[in-house]
């Protein structure tokens, strides 16, 4: 999966650790590693131009200013290239100890922009960089370059936070699962990393049983009694409790069961953990307590829109977790996500009348209701779901 790695260097502690991480991974997988450093010679030139008016009078004539610009440009460019070479040398020397030959590239411009451009130009599978750079403060959790690259890159981004990493580092790999193709793509990446670093995998997921009910009660509280009758709030309350609240847990449990199935298909056994509560709070709390070696998340998740650059959970973890983090862009759709019925062919057929009744259910609850009806039909050995069966289920649940 990962054949070409772009490794970002700036001689910071996190960058040096990222070298060890990338080389360890490359030694195990055979991936090609290219080290890069971005320097900003043109930025220094513009800064010098801004200060020209403050130079002593003897430097103010046009000829002298031109000469000084040439000298400054030459010194800055050569100096920054020398520094860049020294950063690359650190990688080359370490790579020799791993028995690996690396490549290098010097980039000029704005650091995060050039890293993203190079990741596209070089068709890299993964960008590796430290969570913090030379400009880090004691209160920093992730640097601005790291955050911007994570948002802008169209490839996987590995963010190295654990400065205690070494070749023998191991521990748990946590992967966030929400049922989206992005989360199952993240699972695939987690499996590859688990083989490289001999780590166990735990798939974690969280559902929020409170949100829909809270929103529902908020709406109920502002409508009149007559409006409440129109919206059938008594029936809707039962819908939330028996279908939405209970159904959410079943759906997310099924997502984790599917993750287990996907991992087993690759010869890997994984553990699972399901939480009830706001996803960001539950997952962040889990990470704080368990302190895994690596967290793997999809760049976006189940509720992503086409123009979304990063999902909420991924962004919160990027800014707040203390472990290494892999943000993946790949997707994977399992052949089936129904653990009660292994193939789509064994699901009951829906009559047109049954579909019409289903479509009267609010859109946010429709998928949950469909699954509940199908599971009931399967348990009763039915091949087709018709209107009569829908009315029967409606009597039982009140939807």
Assess whether pLDDT exceeds 90 at residue 148: yes
Domains 1-166 and 340-399 equal at CATH topology level? no
- pLDDT at site 153: 95
The pTM of this model reads 0.74
Cβ-Cβ contacts under 8 Å for 77 (sequence gap 6 or more): 41
Fold (CATH) for 340-399 = Helicase, Ruva Protein; domain 3 (1.10.8)
Query: CA torsion, points 373, 374, 378, 380, in degrees to nearest 10?
Result: 20
| pLDDT tens digits for range 158-174 | 999 988 876 666 689 99
Cα-atom radius of gyration of the chain, to the nearest Å?
27
- pLDDT at site 230: 46
What's the whole-number mean pLDDT along residues 201-205? 97
Mark out the alpha helices in 122-180 (DSSP H runs). Answer: 144-152
What's the whole-number mean pLDDT along residues 362-386? 77
| pLDDT tens digits for range 323-365 | 999 999 999 988 754 444 444 455 788 999 988 888 877 665 6
Choose which CATH entry (3.30.565.10, 3.40.50.620, 3.30.1490.190, 3.30.360.10) describes domain 1-166.
Answer: 3.40.50.620
CB atoms under 10 Å from CB of 19, counted, come to 25
What's the whole-number mean pLDDT along residues 250-268? 92
The most confident of 51-65, 184-198, 369-383, by mean pLDDT: 184-198
More confident residue, 369 or 91: 91
Distance from chain centroid for Cα 51: 43
Distance (Å, whole) CA 54 – CA 36: 35
Q: Are 197 and 170 in contact (CB under 8 A)?
A: yes
Assess whether pLDDT exceeds 80 at residue 244: no
| pLDDT tens digits for range 209-232 | 766 556 555 555 544 555 445 445
| pLDDT tens digits for range 57-107 | 655 566 665 655 555 565 555 666 777 788 899 999 999 999 999 999 988
Confidence of residue 236 (pLDDT cuts 50, 70, 90): low
For the chain, give the number of residues.
399
- Closest to 15 measured CA to CA, from 139, 115, 156, 119: 115
Cβ-Cβ contacts under 8 Å for 189 (sequence gap 6 or more): 1, 156, 296, 326, 328, 330
Which CATH superfamily, name and number, covers 170-333? Answer: HUPs (3.40.50.620)
- pLDDT at site 129: 96
What's the whole-number mean pLDDT along residues 114-125? 96
**DSSP code, position 157:** E
Assess whether pLDDT exceeds 70 at residue 249: yes
Phi and psi at residue 18, in whole multiples of 5°?
-60, -35
The beta strands (E) that lie in 131-210 are given as: 156-160, 173-176, 201-207
- Closest to 343 measured CA to CA, from 352, 332, 334, 355: 334
> Could you tell me the two tokens for 389?
């069966």
- pLDDT at site 361: 74
| pLDDT tens digits for range 6-32 | 999 998 899 999 999 999 999 999 999
Q: Are 3 and 31 in contact (CB under 8 A)?
A: yes
Distance from chain centroid for Cα 59: 53
- pLDDT at site 331: 93
**Strand duo 156-160 + 324-328: pairing:** antiparallel
What's the whole-number mean pLDDT along residues 371-376? 80
Q: Chain-wide mean pLDDT for the chain?
A: 81
Domain range annotation of the chain: 1-166, 170-333, 340-399
């Amino acid at each position: 999966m990962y054949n070409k790695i772009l490794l970002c260097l700036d001689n910071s502690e996190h960058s040096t650790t990222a070298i060890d991480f990338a080389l360890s991974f490359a030694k195990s997988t055979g991936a090609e590693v290219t080290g890069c450093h971005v320097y900003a010679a043109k930025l220094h030139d513009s800064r010098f131009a801004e200060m020209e008016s403050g130079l002593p009078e003897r430097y103010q004539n046009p000829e002298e200013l031109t000469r000084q610009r040439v000298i400054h440009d030459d010194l800055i460019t050569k100096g920054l290239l020398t520094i860049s070479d020294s950063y690359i040398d650190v990688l080359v020397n370490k790579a020799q100890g791993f028995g690996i030959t690396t490549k290098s590239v010097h980039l000029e411009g704005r650091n995060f922009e050039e890293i993203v451009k190079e990741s596209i130009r070089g068709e890299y599978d993964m960008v590796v960089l430290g969570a913090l750079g030379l400009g880090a403060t004691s209160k920093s959790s992730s640097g601005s370059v790291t955050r911007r690259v994570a948002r802008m890159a169209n490839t996987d981004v590995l963010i190295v936070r654990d400065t205690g990493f070494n070749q023998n580092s191991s521990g748990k790999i946590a992967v966030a699962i929400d049922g989206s193709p992005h989360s199952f793509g993240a699972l695939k990446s987690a499996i590859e990393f688990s083989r490289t670093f001999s780590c166990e995998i735990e798939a974690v997921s969280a559902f929020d049983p409170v949100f829909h009910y809270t929103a529902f009660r908020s709406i109920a509280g502002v409508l009149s009694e007559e409006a409440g009758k129109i919206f059938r709030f008594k029936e809707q309350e039962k819908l939330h409790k028996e279908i939405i609240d209970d159904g959410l847990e079943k759906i997310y449990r099924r997502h984790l069961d599917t993750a287990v199935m996907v991992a087993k298909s690759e010869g890997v056994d994984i553990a699972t953990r399901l939480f009830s509560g706001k996803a960001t709070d539950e997952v962040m709390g889990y990470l704080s307590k368990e302190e895994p070696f690596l967290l793997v998340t999809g760049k976006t998740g189940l509720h992503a829109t086409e123009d979304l650059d990063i999902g909420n959970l991924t962004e919160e973890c990027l800014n707040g977790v203390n472990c290494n983090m892999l943000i993946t862009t790949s997707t994977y759709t399992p052949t089936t996500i129904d653990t009660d019925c292994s193939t789509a062919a064994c699901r009951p057929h829906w009559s047109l009348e049954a579909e019409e009744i289903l479509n009267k259910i609010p859109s946010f609850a429709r998928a949950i209701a469909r699954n509940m009806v199908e599971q009931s039909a399967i348990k009763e050995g039915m091949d087709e779901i018709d209107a009569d069966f829908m009315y029967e289920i409606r009597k039982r649940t009140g939807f």
